[in-house]
Structure 1
Amino acid sequence: MKNTMPKNLVVILLLLPILARSQAKLSGRVTDEKQAALGWANVMLLDSTGKIASGTTSKEDGSFELQYRTGSFTLRISAVGYIDFRNALLLRGDTSLGNIALRADTKSLSEVSIIRRRKLVQFTPGGLVFDVQNSVAASGGNAVNALSSAPGVIVENNTVSMLGKGASRVMVDGRMVELSGEELMGFLKSIPSADIRNIEVIGNPPAKYQSAGNGGLININLKKGSGNSWKNSTTAAYDQNSYGTLSLSNVLLYNRERFRLSLSGNGQLGHSRVSQRLDTYYPSGLWNLDYTGKQDENKRSGRFALDYDLSKNTSVGVQYFGSRQTPGTSDHTDILIHNASVGLDSVLVNQGTRMLGSTSHTYNAHLVSTLDTMKRILSFDLDYFSFRSGFDNDFRATVFTPQMDFVRNDQSANNNSAQNIDNYSAKVDMEHPVKGLNLTYGAKISSIASSADVRYFNTISGSPVLDPSRSNSFSYRENNQAVYLSGTGNIGTKFGLNLGLRLENTQTTGRSADLARSTKTSYLKLFPTLDITFKASSSHNFSINYGRRINRPGFALLNPFRSYINSNSYSEGNPFLQPSFSDNFDLTHSYKGLIRTELFINRTANGFGPVFTSNSNDNTLVITRENYYKGLDYGLGVTLTNDITPWWQSQTLVYLLGSRTSFINGINANPSDQAHLYLSSNNTLSIGKSTKIQVDYRYHTAYTRGLYSFGNLSSLNLGLRQGMWKEKVSVSLLANDVFNRAYLRNYSSVVNGTRQVYNENNSSRYFRLSFAYSFGNKDIKVKQREFGNDEERRRTN
């Protein structure tokens, strides 16, 4: 396959070194008078006229780093509850200020009874950072709850996506998680929110990240603890919907000099309600399917991370994460079968049990070394991931008259499967700053093997009889080799530029043993990224972003086996699915960090997804996966972030979204597109020193995109958190989706002239009570050190 690279992109890359002009870095660490880290402090360099020449906020460990042009400045550092720090500086090159201690403003603290908290959301040039620790809605929950609370992140139908931009890939601590669908949701539910520091939403990821994900990347950062301290947090939570669940988690963080340790464990017991409805309008009459299930929510997980500094410049570390889940269900399905005159002909009742189980293990070993005084940082990572899952479904279908008199046993079967996934990867990354320019480059290789075995036994006679036509063994292997190069620098004082190129070579092989069929693919693709920023003034900032992405189908979608949902419907994969590609363009404007306006256009080629096809001959519903469309998604949105008072933080998003779709494979359906409005409002009220109230609302109108139509959706969440005993104890209460309107509604399509309308409401409305207790010591008296690069990644599937 022919690959080309725009000539102007090559020219710009070659010109990156000229961006070095008189640029330097200023770094340091903000602390209080006891040398405890002060995160989220404002750090600014003011020029001779008092205007901001450069600025940033300190990280959670108090550290900060910013770029500037050489000259004379005034350094100003401010934090709520502390006296502003000011100091004149003559800066001629890279400068480290070490620790900068702020003095407490005792007068201010004694007079203020309502204290302003750190921001729940902070915008970055390519996205935003959501502070999970500061969210009442995420308290006592898991990673799925935390993602659902992040602005602009949509978690629906077992898919994580960015607003208007399609499915996103999820990372944990910078390492890719390539599980999808129910497997991804299960994995994320095993991560307690108490173990999460923040969530990065990256709309246009730089070249050092893998090119996967049409809708960008979402990175879940786990807690690592501040320097020279230890902390233990225990959280217990109870959720009540139709059924109840009880969870318990513990997180221990210990950092001292060269040694950094993180330990966490999480367990959950209980049940949740599963409810689905599918109306299929066959020519012979309407079929109303109502499914209810009681699903086990039993899971346990644990994490271990250890880092050790071999020297001042070199550290090594290992990390492990494991989880075990058994989300079995007791199922009941009623299918009301009508005739063409809308009269009820019969009732088909499916009853059964599904025993599910999955186990995952993730291992990582890494080395990070600062090579010289230029701060060139070299890092190595080795990763291994294993995923094992099993599925055992017993069901029986019985036909009744409309008066519920027994007619016959229509079907009885056992459908079981097992899936094994192993992933090995190795990567090397180099951060190579030169004067005024930061280069990063690296390489990665990965190998993924998946095997699945599905068996269908007919049990209507009382003894299981294997049905070879509904059974299959499938194996899949994928190898990927990638190299990348990116450069970041400034052009004068107004412009910033980030250019990147990533080259990926992929080979795949899929084989169906029972069908005696193999498929092989091989492709070499180039993925450029471009980010241009323009600082028009101290109040106005602009940025233009472009990135090319790839969306590879998950293993389950490639497996051609049939998984029976009930006696007359099943889902099957497609071994011939090909990846889709997208080109993403974004233009954003920010005004004083308060108003952010975004215009985006995403073009998708060879898009794939589920297709609901009904067979009117035997009234069977089949869910397949196909490359069936190409499309254009676009949107215009405004985000207003406003501190209405020092104690009331508010953020409001309003987006107008649209699409244009065409079908590419002769599917017997007509595309349709309709624009829709999305809005959300997140409000956090900090009352007194220890009380926090959160009120979140979101809504989108009904719309149509391509093959599918979606109903409107709304959600109102109310939360309260009360701190006690000097914030060592907190009690949280959450009412999620108060009016029970945040579920998949009227998800419909028309294929082969048959219309299907689907609704799914899996415990959308629930109430949660959580209790958290934290204790530790932030004043371990040791020499303060700077830890190197935290960036570690892996692709797991």
Structure 2
Amino acid sequence: MKKANYLIFLLVPFFCLAQASFKLKGKISSETTPLEWADISVSNSEGKIIYGTTSMKDGSFEINLKKGFYKIGVTLIRFNEFEKEILIEKDIDLGTILLKESATGLKEVIIQSNKKTIEQKTDRLVYNLENNVTTVGGDALSAINTAPGVVVQNNTINILGKGTSRVMIDGRMIELVGEELNNYLKSISASDIKNIEIISNPPSKYEAEGTGGLINIIMKKGVRDSWKNTTTLSYDQNKYGITTLRDNFFYHKNKFRFAASMNVKSGYLNDKDDFKMYFPDGLSHLKSETKVKTENLSGKAALDYDLSERITIGFQFLRDRNNPDFKSDIRIENYNTQNDLDNITLNKSFTDKGSRNQTYNAHMITKLDDLKRKLSFDIDYFDYSSNFNRNFVAKNYMPDMTFIDVNQSGRNVSNQDIKNWSFKADMEHPLQAVNLSYGAKISFTNSESDVLYYNTITGFQELDPNQSNRFRYTENNHALYVNANKNLGESWSFQMGVRLENTHTTGFSETLNQEKVNDYLKLFPTFYASYKKNESNTFSLNYGKRINRPRFDLLNPFRIYINSNSYSEGNPFLIPSFSDNFEFSHSYKEILRTSVFVNSITDGYGVLFTSNPETNTQIITRENYFKSLNYGIGESYSASFTNWWSSENSLYFLGAKTEFIKDINAKPSNSLQIDFSTNNTFLLGKTTKLQIDFMYTTPFKEGLYKVGYASSFDIGFKQDLFNKTMQIAFLANDIFNTSYLKDFTSVVNGVKQVYSQNSSSRFVRLSLVYNFGNKKINVQQRDFGNKEENKRTGSN
């Protein structure tokens, strides 16, 4: 411990407290008269009240305090509360503090008892879930999809107009993307989520990865000196049924905090795919229907302990296991130029797929003094593995279903292992002139994947070395950052920072004996400015530079055949794309929010659905093929029309200008996209809520692709029972079955391709939630200085 204290002393040589006493004074008044007997409380940085007094007849008060950060609170019956954080390092006169009278009617009481659904902060939008009935019994992915300005479609999470987003939990990055990320989020209960932060331009403290910014999921914490258990049982009915059982437990006593959760899901989904390719000699039309067995088991455990009032240590462990099975029936109809059916291919397959990931985190947070100076360390280890075993037989038939021959018969086996170590140190260092934070992170990722293909057309398994491959990929990332924020009076606030990242990657295909090395050093600046003109109007401006690194599976150059006329291949020469993001916003009484944004992308990469019209072959490749300028304006409106009807509404107008930087024999096209959503909550009684939601996105064109419309109409109902210890909830999701991806169209090499996918978005859900616990654990009569730290460790 002496060595640790000595190290801290070397790192931060000027952490000492002045013991002088300073005078804090002011007056409490309404808009018409001074207020006597107002309660003035002073809390230290630990949240503990250390001093209290009442105002005099003329409303005045005076308090002597030592140097440090404090929170001043003023309360008086019939008036709204007042709070203010302040740094004491000299005598301060707060002047006259005006308290506004609070309404006493039932309407206002009901409204004030609910937390705001959307809160606008300087660098992020905070979405609170507690008012949303449709998330009861759901998971984290469905909760993200209800967040304003966020769309989940085709295995990607996008912030409207800004691109694909990375996801964090309690400020820690999830090292998964695409389908694997979605499966992981489906294992987390929405009822375990406190709120969701949408950070379109993340501060320099966070990784610069992700064109569309970050989605940060903040988990609920246990209440101090209590234990609580929440059990949720839900049943979803689409074409098939899915049953989910979740349990969340929190315990908090004295220095010890513990949380554990468990999730079990089992059932079936129905997926439909429709794919048309218009070749010069006729249409090839693929229809696929897949019965997906969903089998998931996941759990989480977190433990935190206060070694002292200044030092907290903790550990977290998460494990998730998925074992889905896929039984697919694929029908391919091939037509001639007169649109007559030439032949039919029927492909029946069964896929056994499994994945497992586990995450370990150890952290220590040291509070260096009462001036909110904190030093924190995190060590994370992430381990992901997956396996894929597919057996299929494709047979050719005449139009009258007369058997011709076996088109293809085979077995695909693949395995993937990803391991990631990361070490992070963060320092929060308030100074007299500015609040400073800085830190460093190093990360090491190693991925190994192999693909084996066996030809079974003869009835025996014969390894085909030309369709088998092993690929290794490593990525090392080193980062330093510094961030500063400053308030100028009560009107202006500024924040700026810079992040330096050095990345080294190596990809090696053993089969092709091909290696590709990338090494780049980049700066990522961020800037935020906020101006509060008055109580009603706040303006803000922000800028951030981001990077979008290719997933390692996209870098594998090996060609994988989907069928005899379709293959997919990666590109080891893919380079990261970069984006510059600007946003200007205005908030009126936190009711009406306007956002204008521009997003410029260079070296943009993506999937190309191209084709060879001479051989009627579909080719799926990955290329850095475009640059684009995306822009838009968004309006959101929060309203309480009556004491029983509240509404959250958003309207976005989005546009883009795309240029192709690679010759892909296609022309870019862009159009206006309009996205509208409305979420309405109705209080049918003290314990009953009804929710009606609707969203609609117009068809639009962006770059290479054209996308059809999407809409959804949802109805949710929740009934509280037994003093809110039990809830029964019902959800009818996507009632008209119109929210799926449709008419995803591209034209490359003169061949038009149109794709649609429907993954059981229409379903009904019945949920039962039961809460029980004890709020009166016997504890020592003392408080601890870890409130702020717990917000970061997820342990309070």
1:307-342 deviation line (CA, Å, top 9, x unaligned): 000000110000000010011100110011000111
Contact 1:364 1:383 in 2 (8 A): yes
Distance 1:91 1:711, change over 3 A: closer
Shift of 1:468: 1.5
Distance 1:91 1:428, change over 3 A: closer
CA distance in 2, matches of 1:774, 1:246: 19
Partner of 1:523: 520
Partner of 2:216: 219
Structure 1 range deviating more: 226-235 or 83-92: 83-92
Contact 2:455 2:464 in 1 (8 A): yes
Question: Which of 246, 250, 262 lines up with 2:247 in the alignment?
Answer: 250
Partner of 2:371: 374
Question: Which of 276, 281, 287 lines up with 2:273 in the alignment?
Answer: 276
CA distance in 2, matches of 1:94, 1:263: 43
Contact 2:48 2:783 in 1 (8 A): no
**In structure 1, what residue type is equivalent to 2:590?**
G
Q: Secondary structure at the match of 1:146?
A: helix
Partner of 1:93: 88
CA distance in 2, matches of 1:752, 1:268: 44
Partner of 1:405: 402
Distance 1:338 1:559, change over 3 A: same
Shift of 1:45: 9.9
Distance 1:792 1:386, change over 3 A: farther
Q: Secondary structure at the match of 2:130?
A: helix
CA distance in 1, matches of 2:107, 2:401: 73
CA distance in 1, matches of 2:109, 2:318: 43
Q: Secondary structure at the match of 2:191?
A: helix
1:540-560 deviation line (CA, Å, top 9, x unaligned): 110000000001111221222
Partner of 2:435: 438
Shift of 1:92: 7.4
CA distance in 1, matches of 2:488, 2:28: 18
Structure 1 range deviating more: 681-690 or 168-177: 681-690
Shift of 1:786: 3.7
Question: Which of 645, 648, 654 lines up with 2:651 in the alignment?
Answer: 654
CA distance in 1, matches of 2:495, 2:108: 46
Question: Which of 322, 325, 330 lines up with 2:327 in the alignment?
Answer: 330
CA distance in 1, matches of 2:540, 2:658: 28
Question: Which of 138, 159, 165 lines up with 1:162 in the alignment?
Answer: 159
**In structure 2, what residue type is equivalent to 1:375?**
K
Partner of 2:703: 706
Q: Secondary structure at the match of 2:185?
A: helix
Contact 1:454 1:561 in 2 (8 A): no
CA distance in 2, matches of 1:232, 1:370: 31
Partner of 2:183: 186
Question: Which of 593, 605, 612 lines up with 1:615 in the alignment?
Answer: 612
Q: Secondary structure at the match of 1:557?
A: helix
Partner of 2:678: 681
Distance 1:776 1:791, change over 3 A: closer
Partner of 2:478: 481
Contact 2:438 2:483 in 1 (8 A): yes
**In structure 2, what residue type is equivalent to 1:449?**
N
1:139-174 deviation line (CA, Å, top 9, x unaligned): 111111111111111100100010111101111111
Alignment of structure 1 residues 85-124 onto 2, 5 Å: 93=88, 117-124=114-121
CA distance in 1, matches of 2:377, 2:109: 49
Shift of 1:389: 0.2
1:762-795 deviation line (CA, Å, top 9, x unaligned): 001011001000011223353333424246599x
**In structure 2, what residue type is equivalent to 1:401?**
M
Shift of 1:132: 2.5
Contact 2:408 2:563 in 1 (8 A): no
| Structure 2 unmatched runs, 5+ | 1-21, 35-42, 50-59, 63-71, 91-101
Partner of 1:428: 425
Contact 1:417 1:452 in 2 (8 A): yes
Contact 1:225 1:255 in 2 (8 A): yes
Partner of 2:789: 789
Contact 2:317 2:358 in 1 (8 A): yes
Alignment of structure 1 residues 114-513 onto 2, 5 Å: 117-435=114-432, 437-513=434-510
1:664-705 deviation line (CA, Å, top 9, x unaligned): 111111001111111111111223221111111111111100
Shift of 1:510: 0.4
Shift of 1:94: 7.6
Distance 1:109 1:378, change over 3 A: same
Contact 1:194 1:249 in 2 (8 A): no
Give runs of ≥4 in structure 1 deviating > 4 Å.
Answer: 44-51, 61-64, 71-78, 82-92, 105-116, 791-794
Partner of 1:68: none
Distance 1:158 1:89, change over 3 A: closer
Partner of 1:695: 692
Shift of 1:255: 1.0
CA distance in 1, matches of 2:613, 2:559: 19
Question: Which of 570, 576, 579 lines up with 1:579 in the alignment?
Answer: 576
Q: How many residue pairs are counted as aligned between the two chains?
A: 728
Structure 1 range deviating more: 640-649 or 530-539: 640-649
Distance 1:617 1:72, change over 3 A: farther
CA distance in 2, matches of 1:568, 1:418: 24
**In structure 2, what residue type is equivalent to 1:631?**
S
CA distance in 2, matches of 1:520, 1:90: 50
RMSD: 2.9
CA distance in 2, matches of 1:763, 1:45: 59
Contact 1:114 1:689 in 2 (8 A): no
> Which has the greater radius of gyration?
2
Distance 1:85 1:642, change over 3 A: closer
TM-score (norm 2): 0.87
CA distance in 2, matches of 1:236, 1:230: 20
CA distance in 1, matches of 2:431, 2:574: 44
CA distance in 1, matches of 2:125, 2:235: 30
Contact 1:541 1:591 in 2 (8 A): yes
Q: Secondary structure at the match of 2:290?
A: strand
| Structure 1 unmatched runs, 5+ | 1-23, 27-43, 52-57, 65-70, 96-104
Shift of 1:572: 2.4
Question: Which of 717, 724, 729 lines up with 1:727 in the alignment?
Answer: 724
Contact 2:471 2:510 in 1 (8 A): yes
CA distance in 2, matches of 1:372, 1:260: 23
Q: Secondary structure at the match of 1:672?
A: coil
Partner of 2:55: none
CA distance in 2, matches of 1:50, 1:546: 45
Contact 2:175 2:382 in 1 (8 A): no
Contact 2:123 2:203 in 1 (8 A): no
Shift of 1:245: 0.3
Structure with the bigger RCO (C-alpha within 8 Å, sep 6+) is 1
Q: Secondary structure at the match of 2:212?
A: coil
Shift of 1:109: 7.2
Contact 1:427 1:445 in 2 (8 A): yes
Distance 1:49 1:477, change over 3 A: farther
Distance 1:764 1:608, change over 3 A: same
Shift of 1:230: 1.2
Partner of 2:15: none
Contact 2:110 2:643 in 1 (8 A): no
Shift of 1:185: 1.1
**In structure 1, what residue type is equivalent to 2:742?**
R
Shift of 1:87: 7.7
Q: Secondary structure at the match of 1:227?
A: coil
Partner of 1:99: none
Shift of 1:280: 0.4
Contact 2:250 2:259 in 1 (8 A): yes
